[in-house]
Structure 1
């Protein structure tokens, strides 16, 4: 199948030039894989033998709807109380190693390529019982209930078991692995894996309401971010504000794949300091 890039940390040598590819703008942010060093890791209460890179969080001029962590759990590490907010739903995507996930008393074995959706308010735990590090993405979003719509159920699936859905009129050059039915309005976020074969493109500048987080799992491409064409490779992360123009050209030599977050299926939020209830 395919690989899933996971950062290894460490520090570059003192002889390395410090000029890099990182960019932070009002429209998009680009965090290259070289930024994932030991000195930018974080730690969380309740997690043992675990470090993480926080690559998206709500703040002025950045992510508005989600946070995203790149987790590294050492053997014997994990948490019995990973989440401190009952309003938060989670998606986990395993990139390396394995872990034991328990949600409301039911156990699941996560391996490379595993996707887990954990509904808001669930009691869950995760532990690494293997011999190597367990690496995964943890995407968190406050769940937005909708009148007459049930809350989603727990889902544990694997990328390797799902046939990607080709985009229309692309002959399979651009396809999306969907873990959730797009017509299922219970879900207010989608986390998918997007695959471009060599030569595949997004043939127009997408400009739409959904906020995006893109982590490159494999390969390389050039990606249009607002007015800039940026070279991207596995291990890079991109955040795109709502309505930020985007396009892509995957030149090869192999597939270009990324983990994609976007907020979906809900009204635009009109409440704020200027429009209180």
Structure 2
């Protein structure tokens, strides 16, 4: 059965294929369309076996600086017992295709499509694909910003299928967010949520804010405002926004959903 969620097409296009013409990197945003996420741009990762990754965002000075985002594919029998090389990094995993076995501090979890896991810094975790088909998942990483007097958040596992969509007020339940973390919980310095817009729904103003974004389109299509441009996006596309990049949206004829990263709940860093 086909996955509900988009993931890279892989392979290579035919020699007669037209260029996508949508890929762009600007001073305020980047658009990486699904059509350019091919075999030739994947990378291996240290201590991961039978695996490859599309690295679709990484910290870049003068652009988005707080996070990295991978789409990882793990073949049957593949995985890692030493997945995270940085003890200061927290992470979120979100499965878009297949299933995998995740072990956190000795406790085993089966993550299926829509499965979500939060991994605090210093976690002892491993991941192995014990199924007979490849698994694909997003892996979002951020250096955790510790604060005196605030405890580290705990690891947890959830699923898109188990969490409600919390609709924005006065939108007739057409624009909402699936939240995996309470926004008031200051232990968390990043949120990775899923935004849903029903057919024809809009984000009715140009959001312009300090949070950086990674937006991976899971379903549907839309016209998205990015800085000065209105850009068509569809399932499998990735939008990467630096701080203060204006954004808004008109959803298309089908439900439009995307996985959203943003940095939150910390003071702005000041130079010394």
Q: TM-score range by the shorter chain?
A: over 0.9
Matches within 5 A, 1:55-94: 55-94=56-95
Distance 1:122 1:259 in 2: 23
Aligned length: 270
SS in 1 for 2:161: helix
Change (3 A) 1:99 1:19: closer
SS in 2 for 1:161: coil
C-alpha contact 2:227 2:247 (8 A) present in aligned 1: yes
Distance 1:192 1:182 in 2: 11
C-alpha contact 2:9 2:35 (8 A) present in aligned 1: no
SS in 2 for 1:160: coil
Deviation sequence 1:138-189 (CA, Å, 0-9, x none): 0000000112111000110000011100011111110100000010000000
Equivalent in the alignment of 1:37: 38
Distance 1:40 1:208 in 2: 31
Residue 75 of structure 1 and its aligned partner are, at CA, apart by 0.6
**Does 1:266 pair with 2:260?**
no
User: How does the TM-score come out when normalised to structure 1?
Assistant: 0.96
Greater mean alpha carbon deviation, residues 86-95 or residues 6-15:
6-15
C-alpha contact 2:220 2:252 (8 A) present in aligned 1: no
Ranges in structure 1 where 5+ consecutive residues have no aligned partner: none
Residue 20 of structure 1 and its aligned partner are, at CA, apart by 2.1
Distance 1:52 1:75 in 2: 15
Residue 62 of structure 1 and its aligned partner are, at CA, apart by 3.0
Equivalent in the alignment of 1:14: 15
SS in 2 for 1:148: coil
Greater mean alpha carbon deviation, residues 57-66 or residues 170-179:
57-66
Residue 251 of structure 1 and its aligned partner are, at CA, apart by 2.4
Equivalent in the alignment of 2:178: 177
Change (3 A) 1:61 1:24: farther
Ranges in structure 2 where 5+ consecutive residues have no aligned partner: none
**Does 1:103 pair with 2:104?**
yes
Matches within 5 A, 1:90-239: 90-239=91-240
